Amino acid sequence: MSGTKLSILSEDDVDNTPLPSYLARHVNLGFNSADIAALVSSIDSSQRSHFSSALFNLPAELLLQIVEHVPIDHVLDFRLVCRGFRDAIDGRVLFQYLQRTQLIGYMGSKPSRHMEGLDDEQYEQIHLLIARFHYIEHTGEKEDGTSFLGPIWSGTHAVFHIDDDWFQSFRQIGGAAARGGDTIEDADTRWLNTLDRLELRRAEEGFGTLRWCIKLDHSVLDMDFPLETGRNTFDIDVHLHTRTLRVGWKDMLIQALKTERALRRMMEEKQDSLFTFSHAEDCLRAVRRQRLQSALDPENRVDIHIKWSLRLLHPLFGKPHDDHHVTLGEVENEATNILLLLRREASMDSRQIAYLRKLALDYEATETEMHELDQAFREFKTQLSLPGFHLSVSLPGLDTCKPSRNPIAWPDDLRAKIETQIGKWRSQKHAIDKIKALLSVSNIALALPDDSFDDLGSDF
């Protein structure tokens, strides 16, 4: 192959030349010949073309396919390469991201006033709402009455649908089922404040309170900084009665990508720094504080006070801590904890999550069997309570501190400890089953009265 490269498009006919066949037969990306020329020129200029040997230029079509698989915290860097990449990312790539996006609503922590009466299982069922992408809104017709023929991602607003499982669980736990009601409005009055805050109709008690977050691949972040009426950077309408969210999707995704990129860059820069909490947690807190501060109005008295409170938060990256107690510290702690948990889950693949779920079920079964064995042994000791005789032997139990029902929240050391306990239990299962059977039979025999065998008619 000759070392001279032939240009796909000449400068004279850049505006009129049809797309190459390998692009023309592909999906309509909305690019013209000038876009393709700019893309190829940009890629050519970045290659070491002064070598006369075998350096090939990838077709623009293939380059655009590669961009779709760039990690989300790097994709905005590729957007700066050329206009072709920018348009592809702003269109088709963002639309693919949108289809993978979930919006997660947060009801609050378990110690909060409206949640403190719930047991662990009830809390796990309702404290998070998952909304998945449904469709992009289109007006349907242009002003001149002709049908809309643009790409599917040209609509400005997307609609997400909240999973039905949450509504079924909340109907039981929230009190609507007891009244025979089927809607959110039928829930107990103690839930009204929380439901209003989920619909963004009531102000939060603390600036930066986490209420809705956005999940995309391994990233989970606040949906907006902050998510408050009057401060939002994009449109968002939450309608629990229709089980939908309507959002300005492009602005939402671009902001999420910018924030994730900033977090990735900070984690790279602070790799060798001291940490107050941990590498990931310090960086996440720092990025949240930056985003929240940038939303404040320096001319507004309330915002000035909030900015001062943000400065009094616990210093990060190993800096000395002045013992200031601020309400925003509790707000930040709660938001950071739930975000770190969701990010941990988002970074796992399906096999890891399935393994942890199975481990939690095994631990629960082990705990149940241990409790049954302990009860049988206690009954056995009670039956042997004789004057002057005291049986002080007791069974070793599992940890009195019950782990979270969500195994994804288990720290690595706790997970390893539970794996060890379950492994020991499985290895001793055969012997334990025999002990349980022996205790059961012994308890039945010991429970009989002393004269149970007097009327058997035996000579002995």
pLDDT of 449 reads 67
Examine the pLDDT at 55 and tell me if it is beyond 70. Answer: no
Examine the pLDDT at 18 and tell me if it is beyond 90. Answer: no
Residue 75 in contact with residue 88, Cβ under 8 Å? no
390-406: per-residue pLDDT in tens?
Answer: 555 555 555 556 788 89
pLDDT of 435 reads 84
Phi-psi region of 120 (alpha: psi -120 to 50; beta: other; left: phi over 0): alpha
Question: Per residue in 203-224, is it b (16+ CB within 10 Å) or e — as a string?
Answer: eeebbbbbbbbbbbeebbbbbb
Examine the pLDDT at 456 and tell me if it is beyond 60. Answer: no
Examine the pLDDT at 341 and tell me if it is beyond 60. Answer: yes
Q: What is the mean pLDDT of residues 144-159?
A: 78
Examine the pLDDT at 9 and tell me if it is beyond 50. Answer: no
pLDDT class of 45 with cuts at 50, 70, 90: low
More confident of the two residues 117 and 335 = 335
More confident of the two residues 375 and 40 = 375
C-alpha pair distances (Å), 187 with each of 204, 322, 394: 21, 44, 47
Examine the pLDDT at 440 and tell me if it is beyond 50. Answer: yes
Q: If you search the block for the tokens 């790539």, which residue do you land on?
A: 93
pLDDT class of 12 with cuts at 50, 70, 90: very low
Q: What is the mean pLDDT of residues 202-208?
A: 89
367-381: per-residue pLDDT in tens?
Answer: 888 888 888 888 777
Residue 115 in contact with residue 144, Cβ under 8 Å? no
Cis peptide before 111 (omega within 30 of 0): no
pLDDT class of 150 with cuts at 50, 70, 90: confident
More confident of the two residues 300 and 327 = 300
Most confident of 28-32, 208-212, 320-324, 431-435: 208-212
Average confidence score pLDDT of the chain = 83
pLDDT of 13 reads 44
pLDDT of 439 reads 82
What residue ranges do the domains of the chain occupy?
A: 21-70, 101-138+151-346, 350-445
Report the predicted TM-score, pTM, of the whole model to 2 decimal places.
0.79
